[in-house]
A and B are shown apart, each in its own frame.
Chain A
Amino acid sequence: MNRVLVLIPSFGDWQELPRLVAEIDRLGSEYRSLIIDDGSPRPIPKPDVLGSLLVRLPTNIGLGVSIGIAIAHAAAHGYEVLVRIDADGQHNVADIPLLVAQVRVSQAAVALGVRTNQDFDFARRLVKAYMNFVAMLLTRGAVPRDVNSGFFAINRAGIARLEGSHLERFPEPELYVSAWRVGARLLAVNVQQRPRQHGASSFGWIAAARMLFRFSMFALGQLFQRTRP
């Protein structure tokens, strides 16, 4: 019985997918991988693993929509836990059960993989420091540091609360703040990030500026919302 849905959103990152899906399959029969091809220039081929799901979006829409689709699908099909990992192989599949265990046994609805071996350039460090600071202010310190981490697990209660959330590009900080806003407890799980196996990061100065602007607007909107119950 598949109870854990592992989302792997991808835009053109296909090289690592067969290995990732095979590793997820080896975690046990309760794990099912879900690849969402976010309008890659060349359609991502379906990995040769029986039981994995693959859906292709007609055009590149943004990570937030892929996460929204996964949350809605997990809710509709009764998955206990939704996990998200990167398609570039930076997240260690072996860490997935750690996060899953945390949202099963603890009071937390969201377990966040906090990277302990981050090695970012100046621009990225600056953006992440700003976002962490603002997210901490907004949630009174309830959100673990590293709000840009794309490695997380959400249990059924969290899925139900986050279903219908409006997420677009660069959605992670918004997702974690929104989770706190709807009453979900967040927990940090220390993980080691692996070096990127293929491709290059899309994070440049323009992406950083867009991310900052978007998150600042989101944070501004949060200030005018009612305080958390």
Chain B
Amino acid sequence: MSHHLIVLTLALLLAVLVRARLMQIDLSFPWFVALAVLAFASTNPAFVNWLGGAFGILYPPLAVVFLVFFLLLGIIVSMAIMLSLLRERVLAMVKQDALLALSDQERRLALANTQGRSLADGPY
């Protein structure tokens, strides 16, 4: 009974994280849900035996362990992809922001040249 409680607590924690917007649904959520479902299902010996048979593993609980490894790997890879994409977007924004600031400085300098006034104290 205690293992059911642990799995339920973890599933609830996942729901709370999504609810509090600490985890976005479109990131690694499907992998986490799969992990939670697997945890629930693994408390059933019939499912564990079926899984072991399906994978041809003589000691059925090992099938659950392998499946957990696979899901964790899925989470890590999807997180890494998301982080990389996020970083690309941040870099693009920083670059765009810098280019806008530099264009503004060029415009001010061109204006100063045409009007013959000093911009030494001008805001950059």
Contacts and interface: CB of A to CB of B under 8 A. Distances in A.
Contacts of B120: 48, 50
Contact of B99 (A51, A61, A69): A69
Nearest to B119: A50
Binding site secondary structure of chain B: helix
B124 A46 contact: yes
Contacts, number: 43
Q: Is the interface of A mostly helix, strand, loop or mixed?
A: mixed
Contacts of B91: 61, 65
Interface stretch (A72-80, A106-114, A139-147): A72-80
A204 B98 CA distance: 30
A51 to B, nearest CB: 6
B83 to A, nearest CB: 14
Contacts of B94: 57-59, 61, 65
A198 B94 CA distance: 28
A73 B99 contact: yes
Contacts of A58: 94, 97
Contact of B95 (A46, A48, A51, A65): A65
Interface residues of A, number: 20
A127 to B, nearest CB: 25
A34 to B, nearest CB: 7
Interface residues of B, number: 17
Nearest to B97: A58
Interface string A156-194: 000000000000000000000000000000000000000
Contacts of B73: none
Contacts of B118: 50
A28 to B, nearest CB: 15
Interface of A: 34, 36, 46, 48, 50-51, 53-55, 57-59, 61, 65, 68-69, 72-73, 76-77
Interface of B: 91, 94-95, 97-99, 101-103, 105-106, 109, 112, 118-120, 124
Cβ-closest 9 pairs across A and B: A55-B98, A69-B98, A55-B101, A73-B102, A53-B105, A50-B120, A55-B102, A69-B95, A77-B106
